[in-house]
A and B are shown apart, each in its own frame.
Chain A
Amino acid sequence: MSDTHAETDVATTRLAFVRNDFLKSEAPPVREGGLGHWLKVNLFATPKDTILTILMALFLAWILPPLLNWAFFSAVWDGSNREACLGEGRGACWAFVDAKFAQFMYGRYPIDERWRVDLTAILLIVSLVPLAIPSVPYKKFNAIFLLVVFPIIAFILLTGQFGLRPVRTDLWGGLLVTLVVAIVGIVVSLPLGVLLALGRRSHLPFVKYASIVFIEFWRGVPLITILFMSSVMLPLFLPDGVTFDKLLRALVGVAFFASAYMAEVIRGGLQAIPKGQYEAADAMGLSYWQKMRLIILPQALTMVIPGIVNTFIGLFKDTSLVLIIGIFDLLGIVQLNFADPNWAAPQTAITGFAFAALVYFVFCFGMSKYSLYMERRLDTSHR
Chain B
Amino acid sequence: MTIATIDSSASQPARASLFYDPVIRGVVFQVLLALFIIYLVYSGVTNAANNLARAGIATGFGFLNNRAGFDIGQSLIPYTANSTYRQAFFVGLTNTIFVAAIGIFFATILGFIVGIARLSKNFLVRKVAEVYVETLRNIPLLLQLLFWYKAVLSALPAPRGSIEMFNSSVFLNNRGLIMPHYLAEAGASIFYASIAIGIAVAVVIARWAKKRQMATGQIFPTIRVALGLIIGVPLVVLFVLGVPFTAEYPELSGFNFSGGTTIRPEFMALLLGLSLYTAAFIAEIVRAGILAVSKGQTEAAFSLGLRPNTTMRLVIIPQALRVIIPPLTSQYLNLTKNSSLAIAVGYPDLVSVFSGTVANQTGQAVEVISITMIVYLTLSLLTSAFMNWFNSRVALVER
A266 to B140, CA, bound (A): 24
* From A43, A203, A222, A320, residue with most partner B Cβ within 10 Å: A222
Report A's interface with B, CB cutoff 8 A: 41-43, 45, 49, 52-53, 56-57, 59-60, 203-207, 210, 216-217, 219-225, 228-229, 232-233, 235-240, 313, 317-318, 320-321, 323-324, 331, 335, 338, 346, 349-350, 353, 356-357, 360-361, 364-365, 368
Check B134 for interface membership: any CB of A closer than 8 A.
Answer: yes
Summed over the interface, the residue pairs from A and B with CB atoms below 8 Å come to a total of 155
Check B272 for interface membership: any CB of A closer than 8 A.
Answer: no
Given known pairs A221-B337, A361-B138, the reply for A52 and B124 (CB within 8 Å) is yes
B140 touches A233 (CB 8 A): no
A353 touches B151 (CB 8 A): yes
A360 touches B139 (CB 8 A): yes
Given known pairs A236-B47, A349-B151, the reply for A222 and B338 (CB within 8 Å) is yes
Report B's interface with A, CB cutoff 8 A: 26, 29-30, 33-34, 37, 43-45, 47-48, 50-52, 54, 120-125, 128, 134-135, 137-143, 146-147, 150-152, 155, 337-338, 340-341, 343-344, 351, 355, 359, 365-366, 369, 372-373, 376-377, 380-381
**Could you list 27 A-B pairs, sorted by A, with CB under 8 Å?**
A43-B123, A43-B124, A49-B121, A56-B125, A57-B124, A59-B128, A60-B124, A205-B30, A206-B33, A207-B30, A210-B37, A216-B377, A217-B377, A220-B377, A222-B376, A223-B337, A224-B343, A225-B355, A225-B372, A236-B52, A236-B366, A237-B45, A238-B47, A321-B341, A361-B138, A364-B139, A365-B134
A221 to B379, CA, bound (A): 9
When distances are taken between beta carbons in the complex, the residues of chain A under 8 Å from B139 are 317, 357, 360-361, 364
A288 to B48, CA, bound (A): 39
B6 → A minimal CB distance (Å): 14
A361 → B minimal CB distance (Å): 5
A32 to B131, CA, bound (A): 29
A238 → B minimal CB distance (Å): 6
Of chain A, the residue at the smallest CB distance from B123 is A42
When distances are taken between beta carbons in the complex, the residues of chain B under 8 Å from A324 are 142, 341, 343-344
B147 touches A206 (CB 8 A): no
B351 touches A236 (CB 8 A): no
A324 to B351, CA, bound (A): 12
A216 to B378, CA, bound (A): 11
A240 to B381, CA, bound (A): 36
Given contact pairs A43-B122, A207-B29, A220-B373, enumerate 12 new A-B contacts (beta carbons under 8 Å).
Answer: A49-B121, A52-B124, A236-B47, A237-B47, A240-B47, A240-B51, A317-B140, A317-B141, A335-B150, A357-B143, A361-B135, A361-B138
